[in-house]
Structure 1
Amino acid sequence: MARKFSDEKMVLASHNKGKLAEFAHLFRPHGIEILSAGELGLPEPEETGETFEDNAILKAVAAAKAADMPALADDSGLAAAALNGAPGVYSARWAGPEKDFTAAMQRLEDELIAAGNTDRSAAFVCVLALAWPDGHVETVRGEAKGRLIWPPRGDGGFGYDPVFMPVGRTKTFAEMKPEDKKEISHRAEAFERLIKTCIASE
């Protein structure tokens, strides 16, 4: 039985203002206030995990203990089947310190060609970890399945969105309206599971 969250506030283990705004919007209907690790001056731990779950738990536990309140962390990325799940937890690192996702998408395409270019199936993965100061953690996972296309299409979204086309769609994530993408995104699915699993009902 999953532990239920019954507080009025939680800290988001992220210094990303865009992510903070997104989660604040998602949690507002549930009467939960989201504080950011940045606002609280919490350090960002090094992401040394080998899986999305590892990194999400690492970040959530560190923030919960430092803030002495429940903390939520997410770890997400793109997993290509032909590359045994790469770039996976290294999705952001493939873009380098300059966050050059044009170069990251080119590397992805080059590696797919080197791997034979026959299987272009992939999934965006998001793992959410909710941790309490006593060290207890609950995790949920969301996935958006699709295939990788080339050349990139669309100028919306971010990261690898221009080369990812979800199953049953004719537009890449970068060509979709934000509200349409949110309906089928990996983060939206993970959030729905978190609400069903851990957020106390009225």
Structure 2
Amino acid sequence: MKVGIMGGTFDPIHMGHLIAAQRALEGLQLDRIWFLPASVPPHKQLSGGASASQRLAMVRLATQEEENFEVCEAEMRRDGISYSYDTIVELQEDFPGYRFYYIIGADMVQYLPKWHRISELAQRIGFIGLQRKGYVLEKETLPDFLRSKVELVPMPVIEVSSTDIRIRRAEGKPVRYTVPDAVARYIEENGLYAGE
């Protein structure tokens, strides 16, 4: 079983996340994409957004109709900061024989050397870099141990972000078409991001 892991805060999950996941699934012929919401992400401070349980609920709603998409709660169950290395060790213990790939934007691939325990992580998994038009990733600049572990997959330019969605909500503007309809309804019903 080849599983792509799409991690993030998903505050909120949006159409760009789902399109990226589908491109990774097709590009590397993966069997599944697991969406992995972070409880306490190491690189971001969460403030004024949705709670962890609300973010998880939105990911569930966004992925419920796609048979190849699943939600993984490994980081939600863990207290404190979630590091990819710890998550992968746990997943490999729980799912022996599965091959895991972290899905990240090609622009983030250059930061992989700064990841927590990256050399050990790279021995365990591969990485899928989503290559946006106009951005050129120089794989040669990566350390030797990473270069062969990164596969690039073409990704269309999608001008939507969780930050923009939160700003639109705070300004009283609609967010339809930026998130799945079920997520838009959840945001509205729960009054999320209004008046941030």
Instruction: Identify the structure with bigger relative contact order (alpha carbons < 8 Å, sequence gap 6+).
Output: 2
TM-score band by shorter chain is: under 0.3
TM-score normalized by the length of structure 2: 0.23
Using the size of structure 1 for normalisation, the TM-score is 0.23
